Structure 1
């Protein structure tokens, strides 16, 4: 009898232990699931972007298509903050670098994350140009040159915003005559449209009351492996361009075209970004990697002019544009600051920029496509970033 009682007690203890273990395992698994969910990319809290800057209201606007692709844009600098697209497993991946709050974009060390760039994207040599017999001097914010519009380019301005339905945002900004040294009052409009085929379309338009120069673009930093992952050098890139505009040691074009064939700049067929990036080459040395304008073979919006592929996520990004040039920048000056979204660290070469544009320093190079805009004319360009998986 005593032995039977002992067996019953042992069984009861085992049963209790089994239930406890199962409960602990279930709790642990639940925690793992919660942890995984917590790690899924999220659009930053819009409350972190609500503020008054330069007397205007700043906010965060969200576009979403029928597939769940989501874009977050702030009207401070017209910046792309987040872009969530599906990977090969159907899970959303945030493919652009940025910050979780407005204050992250107001730091002195400007990286131009996701910003609209104007009045003039890229560099102008010594910040000088002549137009209609008059000489103009711009801000010198890149050593001896002007970069991305100067100290207070469009990336620091507050755009007026109008959301049109769930998938379009219109941004307008009026740049005063003389702002940054540029002539004429320039009225610009940027339209972001998220389509149901997972494409982000950006349309730029502008008019002026006085002859001026204009070259608008977007400075998104892409990482198709996911923002915050350590490198883009294993991604594959193809650019439909047989030439680049080589630069001097200050990254100003020499005025010549240079064939890419037989050089590290040959992306006419797919190759990994890191394949040639550290080779001995004067142009790579000047840019500390890729930071060059590619002369596009075609630019009529009907054909992709560049494609990036991530072997890790399977995400593919195709670019279409009406612009004649594409600035490929391989994130050479990212310094590893840990103030990215979700406290991510954005390391050296952890993103790339593919900025559609007219050529750098065009106002000083008559052989380059003109960037002059005159009264009565309308500047209009279109660029599309389209996402798929393979």
Structure 2
């Protein structure tokens, strides 16, 4: 009987450490590969409507590729995903300054976020389903954030054609936490090329966060999607309105916005994407209050990815379940606060099928 989990050496980072890869093997060739650098989803093999397998996430062929360039392919993002305006926030009367790595703002944890950490493999399980749990301890003051944060992420093949990513974290001081996975998807397969503008997207959100030119949410409540290029409730091609003359699309050079979801304690359907050419369908279920939809606007072909490809604008899309951007500075947003004795939890499910 073939083991449902394989562990292997994935190579060396440019500065020396060895990176491990864990391959979770499911039925019908469905397979997820996770590496210890950035606790990243390195590959995801999914059958198309004819049963032909293809890798549907951008990434690199070895550890050195991930070490050479910071492109966030499939990584675990933290401590705080997305942006913190002015790279600072107040917590219990104290001012905390974090790293400004996106102009005046912090993006995806600063210069050395969780995507640049070498996580440890805490557990590999075959029963009841193939799963791997990785752990990273971020010390008090790392990147300017308060508290020692003990973070874990578990990847599991939780069902037929289903990948669950579950995050948890605890802190010894009040802090802020917003973890997510940053997979870049192309449901036609990344090896064959082609953009994702013809993918059909449905997003179960009535509101989105409009931003300024630096991608910081504007003051005031979320905007309705009614009558805008941001309305995907009934489904639309990603590229159908991406070039409309809309200020928000100009600011982001496409879609790069948080969609506001209804509150829930358990994962519910947030988005559905289907690719007509391959027949692959992906559903995203999450318990998070928002999902950042990014249409791959600034992928610039600067670094070679898997299969010798140079990926460019709109070659992939991201759906990043998370708290709302700049939540530490916005008391009107769902809170990203974590106190000692409490546990941060985030569960997202990626369910694949065919047309």
Shorter-chain TM-score tier: over 0.9
Q: Tell whether 2:166 aligns with 1:206.
A: no
Matches within 5 A, 1:268-279: 268-279=233-244
Structure 1: 5+ residue stretches without partners: 1-44
| Contact 2:13/2:67, CA 8 A, preserved across alignment | no
The 3-state SS of whatever aligns with 1:205 is strand
Match of 1:292 among 250, 257, 282: 257
Shift of 1:248: 0.7
Runs of 4+ in structure 1 over 6 Å off: 45-48, 52-55
Counterpart position of 1:143? 103
| Distance change >3 Å, CA 114–CA 163, structure 1 → 2 | same
What TM-score do the two structures reach when normalised by structure 1? 0.85
Does 2:194 align with 1:233?
A: no
Deviation (angstroms), 1:270: 1.1
CA RMSD of aligned residues (A): 1.7
Confirm or deny: 8 A CA contact 1:299 1:320 kept in the other structure. Answer: no
1:340 aligns with 2:305: yes
> What's 2:116 paired with?
156
User: Of 225, 238, 254, which aligns to 2:218?
Assistant: 254
Q: CA deviation at 1:336?
A: 2.3
> 1:143, CA displacement in angstroms?
1.0
1:53 to partner: Cα distance: 8.2
- 8 Å CA contact 1:322–1:383 kept in 2: the answer is yes
Aligned residues of 2:11 and 2:64 also touching (Cα < 8 A): no
Separation of aligned partners in 2, 1:124 and 1:384: 26
Whole-angstrom distance in 1 between the partners of 2:58 and 2:296:
11
**Contact 2:170 / 2:342 at 8 angstroms: preserved in 1?**
yes
Which of residues 38, 43, 49 is equivalent to 1:82? 43
Q: 2:62 pairs with 91, 95, 101, which one? A: 101
Aligned match of 1:92: 53
Distance 1:139 1:92 in 2: 41
Q: CA deviation at 1:238?
A: 0.4
**In the alignment, which residue of structure 2 is the partner of 1:194?**
157
Equivalent position of 1:73 in the other structure: 34
Write out aligned runs for 1:354-369 (5 A): 354-369=319-334
Aligned residue-pair number: 345
Cα deviations across residues 112-136 of structure 1 (Å, max 9, x unaligned)?
A: 0000000001000010100010000
CA distance in 1, matches of 2:161, 2:317: 20
Deviations 1:75-102 (A, max 9, x none): 1000111100110010111110000011
Judging changes above 3 Å, is the alpha-carbon distance between structure 1 residues 226 and 56 closer, same or farther for their aligned structure 2 residues? same
Deviation at 1:230, TM superposition (A): 2.2
SS across alignment from 1:285: helix
* 1:62 aligned counterpart, secondary structure: strand
Displacement of 1:175 in angstroms is 0.2
Q: Gaps spanning 5+ residues in structure 2: where? A: 1-5
Determine which structure has the larger helix proportion and give its number: 1
CA distance in 2, matches of 1:369, 1:148: 18
Partner of 2:251, secondary structure, is helix
Displacement, 1:210?
0.4
In 1: Cα distance, 2:171 partner to 2:16 partner: 24
Residue 132 of structure 2, aligned match among 155, 166, 169 = 169
Give the Å deviation of 1:303.
Answer: 3.2
When normalised by structure 2's length, the TM-score is: 0.94
